[in-house]
Amino acid sequence: MSYRYDAGEVITAMVTPFNEKREIDYNKVEELSQYLMTHGSDAILVAGTTGEGPTLTHEEEFEMLSTVKRAVANKCKVIMNAGSNSTETAINSAKWAQKEEVDAILSVVPYYNKPSQEGMIEHFSAIAESTDLPIIIYNIPGRTGVNMQPTTVAKLAEKYTNIVGIKQSFGDMDAVTEMKLCCPEDFTIYSGDDSLTLPMMALGARGVVSVASHIFGSEMKSMIRNYKSGEFLAALNMHKKLYPAFRKLFMAPNPVPVKAALAHLNIIEDYVRRPLVELTSEQKKELFKVIDKVKKN
């Protein structure tokens, strides 16, 4: 199977490590980047929702990107979040990302504005015409308030070769099938939800833009590889093993639980920026019980 752009099977939407002052801990950024690279991640997404991108300054984003790129040293692809509900802001972010020589950008369907399907086409057309970078559309109706229809995705994919894929964070399997039917053959679909990775792959998805891969990256990679090699039962068994962790990692707003899990494993601290708040001690006990059980199985 050939793809317009191949970011691999497991893209980790990396958290942004903070210290107790809620300042970015760049030493931990470097360590975490290297950890992810050696534990199943084919690509790292910087400053996305999981990275608390809305709370980062442009200066912080620049330093984060530089730190991640330096840490992975071209051994892992680096994707930059460059989306906005303002088309002009998204264009400027895409141009900046191209100047910084990232491998690709992720650009979300405009949130809050609630554009029509035609408005989405104009938005992403303007971004695609502003950059040569590969663009992965991010469709997450639960956060944006609107859903990009498969026919809209197809229109953009047919017109712009640099619109290379979509992160589909929406549990509508019919929509995945419809995209496979109406989009170009080389257009890539990624699951945006860990628990939907295997079901979406059964319909032709490439892999996942993952949160759980922070903790279970090698297991996620194993599940995907087993499925692709025809070891369907092994893939299903891994999905079933990981499923309780998939659910608990979203027991509170992302990335609060995954940061707590990483702190539990002594990889980073669990500090988040307001308006997010850390898990309570009771919530942590509940989460760690599941994480430890899945790790042991």
Task: Give me the residues paired with residue 209 across strands.
Answer: 11
Q: Are 26 and 32 contacting, i.e. CB atoms less than 8 angstroms apart?
A: no
Cα distances (Å, whole numbers) of residue 122 to 42, 145, 152, 161, 272: 31, 18, 11, 16, 35
Q: CB–CB of 14/45 below 8 Å?
A: yes
Among all chains, which residue has been given the structure tokens 């002009």? 88
**80 bridge partner residues:** 46, 105
Nearest 5°: the CA angle 255, 257, 259 is: 65
197-225 burial, b at 16+ Cβ within 10 Å, e below that, comes to bbebbebbbbbbbbbbbbbbbebbbbbbb
Residue 28 annotated to the active site: no
Instruction: Classify 130 as helix, strand or coil.
Output: coil
Q: What is the DSSP letter of 18?
A: B
Q: Is 167 a catalytic residue?
A: yes
Q: Which position among 26, 35, 138, 271 bears the catalytic label?
A: 138
The residue annotated as part of the active site, out of 28, 69, 155, 167, is 167
Q: Please, are residues 230 and 202 in contact by the beta-carbon 8 Å criterion? A: no
* Structure tokens that stand for 207 in this block: 């892999």
* Residues belonging to the active site: 138, 167
